[in-house]
Amino acid sequence: MRDQLAILASQWNQSLKSLFESDPNRGARYVAEGAGLRLDFSKHWIDQTVLNALVTMLDECDFDTVRQQLFGGKRINFTENRSVFHPALRAKSTDEFLIDGVSVVTDVLTARGHAYAFAEDVRAGTCQGASSKTFTDVVNIGIGGSDLGPLMVSEALKPWIDGPKPHYVSNVDGAHLHDVLGELEPETTLFLIASKTFTTQETMHNAAKAQQWIADALGADAIPHHFAALSTNEEAVQAFGIAPERMFGFWDWVGGRYSVWSTIGLSLMISLGPDVFDRLLSGAREMDHHFKEAPPEANIPVLMALLGVWYRNGFGLETLAVLPYEQRLHRFSAYLQQMEMESNGKRVDRDGEPVSYDTCPVIWGEPGTNGQHAFFQLLHQGTLICPVDFIMSANPVNTDLESHQLLNANCLAQSESLAFGKGFEEVYRDMVDQGFAESEAKRLAPHRTFPGNRPSSTIMIEQLTPESLGALIAAYEHKVFTQGVIWNVNSYDQWGVELGKAQCNALRPSFISGDATAFSTSTQEILRWLLKNTH
């Protein structure tokens, strides 16, 4: 089928301008709605023939069966022999999620209830620090999925924060922890150590420094009062000084980049409260239903996935820009970078054979309107063609309507300009009308010409709320799953992360011994320079 896509792409000779001119109803025809989201995909290089071919691809890769396996708890992460069951983390008591015929719902609800109870105790001041003072700040120490998800959600839902202020530390660079702790008081700070194995190098390094910070200020006896663990390694957690009742577990079928719905979201439960967190889960659950039930032509995650495959494998386009016109979504693109590139950045298929086609594109982006004054020049007039996901909302949260309408006007103007551009003749005529000499207008017009025909989606929500954010995150989760099925890769392992970790562990003693002869001459020379110039 991928060969057929390439053929279809090679035959594609229509512009977005001609597509809209030939179909007055195109703007209403290529729209999908579900779970509070609205996807306008009319500004894409598709017609009904292309859309039909993309949908046919789903049948050829047995998509429906694999989707049933996802929601049925099958071990689709076959390299680690694990189910991929993050939708179960959104479960209500009436839902059914089974692994090997055994329900996981009770376990999920019990773990959620344990976390909610702790969160309520912290929020109410029942759970206090060693000095009997109420916690005002909670610091989540994690990395990757144990950091990006909670951080992104806390920024997106900042207007709903009414509990202890959340902070996030991930980088092993000591400046990160130093700068966060510089704003806080030990007596009123609670630390959450987020590591499934409780061995993650960066996380445990920062955790030990936070432990020392508390011990220096309040004494070693204070440590149990100021720490909780998001982990499954009870022995290591207790050795660190955290009591079992302050350990909040999850399961091996929860991938890190899909774990914000689990106890990894404890910082959110504390800062936002369980009721708001429930609303986040509710929005994601609605998107789960939409993804399972809507036909492909009206299924938001499926359409997003198919369009991505069309550009990646049909046209060889290498990037996707995600541009939220919502300042509070300023970490959303970074969150998606891990979700998509760690999931589908694979070069071998499910049989372990090298793929003969491209897989995941590079995901990048920043909020509008800031990006308009940075990289939009490349999007409009550069040689790189980059599809765009614009994200916008109808109503502001805690801001004025005038500013929000100006924001949305910019978003619509950018998608319109990318799609239709402004040709040489129109630019030339405008310049002459403005008083330019014809020779000068002809000389300058090429620099002011916009080729257009740059594809984009517009994802709309009524307002950035816990429900709409949950649905938005889940939509991208299911997009990643769908593309992984089409590309025939395992989207749920991440062995590419491991080699660098192993090399770091092997190299670390060289900073003490000065001997790096087991490594390349480049690394040896760099180490010599570092040791010579370390003060």
Report the 10 Å Cβ neighbour count for 345: 16
**Under the phi-then-psi rule, with left for phi > 0, alpha for psi from -120 to 50, and beta for the rest, what region is 457?**
beta
Cα angle, residue 145 at apex, residues 358 and 242 outer, rounded to 5°: 155
What distance in Å separates the CA atoms of residue 276 and residue 279, rounded to the nearest whole number?
5
Residue 463's Cβ-count burial label (10 Å; 0-12, 13-18, 19+) is middle
Short-list 135, 249, 228, 234, CA closest to 185: 135
Q: What Rg, from alpha-carbon coordinates, does the chain have?
A: 25
Q: Of the listed 245, 373, 447, 535, which one is catalytic? A: 373
Q: Of the listed 92, 178, 289, 501, which one is catalytic? A: 501
Contact 364, 321 (CB under 8 A): yes
Told to judge if 501 belongs to the known catalytic residues of this protein, a careful annotator would answer yes
Told to judge if 202 belongs to the known catalytic residues of this protein, a careful annotator would answer no
Per-residue H/E/C for 285-296: HHHHHHHHHCCH
What distance in Å separates the CA atoms of residue 195 and residue 242, rounded to the nearest whole number?
13
Told to judge if 373 belongs to the known catalytic residues of this protein, a careful annotator would answer yes
Q: Buried b vs exposed e over 272-294: b needs ≥16 C-beta within 10 Å?
A: bbbebbbbbbbbbbbbbebbeeb
At residue 513, what is the residue type? S
What distance in Å separates the CA atoms of residue 455 and residue 57, rounded to the nearest whole number?
21
Cα–Cα distance list, 309 to 65, 355, 385, 397, 410 (Å) = 20, 14, 15, 34, 28
Q: Of the listed 155, 187, 202, 342, which one is catalytic? A: 342
Beta bridge mates, 323: 390
Report the 10 Å Cβ neighbour count for 506: 12
In which element (H, E) is residue 467 found? helix 466-487
Short-list 288, 343, 246, CA closest to 87: 288
So which residues are the catalytic ones?
342, 373, 501
